[in-house]
Chain A
C-alpha cells in the first residue's frame, strides 16, 4: 500500500534531496576546481570551493595539448566492442539455454555463472598471459601430441607460435567482455515470453535462427538496448585491465590516459584543475548517453514487454 501522508512526503523528499546532494557534490567540486588556474590552485592550498574563470583555458589544454581526444576515440571503440561482445554472446547463449532443452543445460548454466564469480581482477595475471600470446593453447597442443618434436626433426627448428593482442582494441575489450551477467537478465525476459511463441514460429516454418532473428530479436530490443548501455559504460570506466593490456598511450582508453596525466612530473604538484577539466571531458559521453536513453534503460530493466 502506498501511504500518501504529508509527513511521509516531506521525509521522502528530504532523503531524496540529501541523496542528490551526496551524489552531485563530487561533480560540483570537480567543476569548481576545473575553473581555477594552476597558480590559483597551488596558492589556494588544494581543492577549495571557489569559482574562477579559467575553465575554457583548462578545457582547451585538455583538448589540444593532451592525448585525451584520441584516447576518447579508443574508449568509444573499446566500450562498443565490450558492449557488443557481451550482448551478442549473452543473447545467443541465453537463446540456446531457454529454448533448447538439453540434459547439459544445468551444467552449461553453472559454467556461465562461474564467469560471473571470477571477475577479471582475480585472474588478471593468467588473462595477461593468454592475451600476450593467444596461440599459447596451440603450442601446448603441439607439445602434448608430440607434433612439435616431429616438426623439429623435419625442419630443424622447434615451432613456437606467438600472436599478441596487447595494445589492440580487441585485446583490451575481449577480457572485459567475458562476463555473463546479461544471461540472467535475458533469461528472465525470455522466460516471460509466451511459451507457444517458438512453437507457432516452428509451425510457420521458421527454423531456430529465423525465430531468433525475426521474432526474438525485435521483441528483446528494450532489454538489449538497456544492457548494451550498461556494458558500454562498464567498458568506458574499466581501469585495471586497460592499464595492463594497453602499454602505449596510443592504445590506452581515456580513463587510463587521464590517470597517466596526473603523474607526468613527480617533482611538481599535479595540475588538478586541468585534470578535473579532463575528467569532465572524459565523462560527458556516458552522461550524455544515460541522459538520452534514460527511459529505454528503465524500461529495459523492468523486464516486461507490454
Chain B
C-alpha cells in the first residue's frame, strides 16, 4: 500500500450564510501522518468530511495525487475513514463488518475471506471474526473500525477523533498501535483531534486550525518551540504558555510596571511568552508570591503573582524542596522568551 499526496487548493465551505472555512490551502505529502488540531467548532471535522467526500466543497479544488476529487463520490476516492463512535454495523459479525465494503465492490468470496483474515491479523483480531461488535471491548471495536478502513487498501486514511471514546490507559496503548500501523501500511493519514497529546505524539506534521484558517502547519517540535502566533502558543502545552505585556528597552525586557524580566535584543511593545517549565526558581531575581500550588507528584505547578500584579504559572520539580515558601524568586533565561507583536499576534523573534 502506498500513500497518496493530498493537495487542498483554496478550498472554502459555507453552510447557507455561515462561512466555516474561508479559503484553505495545504499539502499533505504521500505517506505522511498529519494531525488536524483545533478547538471545537474550528472546522477541522468539516475539512475531514470534505476530504472523505461526506460533505461537498463549496469552492476550490481537492487533489489526491494528480486527480481532482472534489466532485468524485466518496466510494471512488480511494480513501477510508475511522469514526469516533466506531460506527460498526451492530447486526453483522466482525468479519462481515470488515468485509462489507469488499462485498459491495463485488470482490469474490474467496479473496474476500483472505483479505479479511489478513487485516484481522494486522489489527490483532484473529479469533474474534465471528463475534458481534456488542461482544467486544471498546479497544477491540476500535480495531475492527480500523481493520474495516484498511481492508480496501486505501491511499488515504482519515481518522475522526478515533481515540476520544477510550479510557486513558487504552488511549495510550492505541496511540502507539496506530503509530506502528501507520508505519506498516504507509497510507497518507489525516487525523482530527482536539487532544494535543495525540497530536504531538502521532503527527509528522500538525495543522493547527482556528476559525477555519491555518494558524500553523509544522512538525510537533517546531510548533512547540517556535509557535507562530499567540493562538498556537497558548493552545499547545499544558499548563499553557504565560503571555505578558512587556516592552524591550535598552537590551532589557521590562514588564508593564517597568520591572526588568530578562534581557532581549528587541525594542518596543511586545507580548512576551514563557513556557511554565522554562521558568527557573533561584535565590534572586523576579520576586513573586505563591498563590496556589498543585502537587502532581513528579512536579509541582505553581501559580505565582509578581509584585506588579501579573500572574504566571510555572512548573518545577524543585517544588518539594521549598514547599513552605510563599515567596519565590524567578529566573527567566533569555532564550526561553517568545516574542509576539501585540497588534498582529504574530511571532517576532
Specify the chain B residue showing the minimal Cβ separation from A200.
B87
- Chain A residues with CB below 8 A from B74, complex form: 202-203, 205
**In the assembled complex, B224 has its CB within 8 A of some CB on chain A:** no
Specify the chain B residue showing the minimal Cβ separation from A306.
B134
Given contact pairs A204-B100, A205-B104, A205-B105, A199 touches B54 in the complex (Cβ within 8 A):
yes
- Chain A residues with CB below 8 A from B90, complex form: 219, 305
Specify the chain B residue showing the minimal Cβ separation from A305.
B90
Q: Beta-carbon contacts of A202-240 to B below 8 Å, as 1s and 0s?
A: 111110001000110011000000000000000000000
Report the minimal beta-carbon distance from A203 to chain B, rounded to whole angstroms: 5
**In the assembled complex, B81 has its CB within 8 A of some CB on chain A:** yes
Specify the chain B residue showing the minimal Cβ separation from A218.
B91
Q: What is the interface residue range for chain A against chain B?
A: 10 to 19
Bound-state Cα–Cα, A169 to B79, Å: 51
Bound-state Cα–Cα, A305 to B84, Å: 19
- Chain A residues with CB below 8 A from B149, complex form: 203
- Chain A residues with CB below 8 A from B134, complex form: 306
In the complex, 28 of the A-B residue pairs with CB atoms within 8 angstroms, ordered by the A residue number, are A194-B85, A196-B83, A196-B84, A196-B85, A196-B86, A200-B87, A200-B89, A200-B148, A201-B100, A202-B53, A202-B74, A202-B75, A203-B74, A203-B149, A204-B75, A204-B101, A204-B104, A205-B74, A205-B101, A206-B100, A206-B104, A210-B104, A214-B100, A215-B89, A215-B91, A218-B91, A219-B90, A306-B134
Write the residues of chain A forming the contact surface with B, with a CB cutoff of 8 angstroms.
194, 196-197, 199-206, 210, 214-215, 218-219, 305-306
Write the residues of chain B forming the contact surface with A, with a CB cutoff of 8 angstroms.
52-54, 74-75, 79-81, 83-91, 100-101, 104-105, 134, 148-149, 160
Shortest 3 CB-CB contacts between residues of A and residues of B: A205-B75, A196-B87, A204-B101
A196-B83, A204-B100, A206-B100 known, 18 other contacts, Cβ within 8 Å? A194-B85, A196-B86, A196-B87, A197-B89, A199-B54, A199-B83, A199-B87, A202-B74, A202-B75, A203-B75, A203-B79, A203-B80, A203-B101, A203-B149, A204-B101, A204-B148, A205-B101, A215-B91
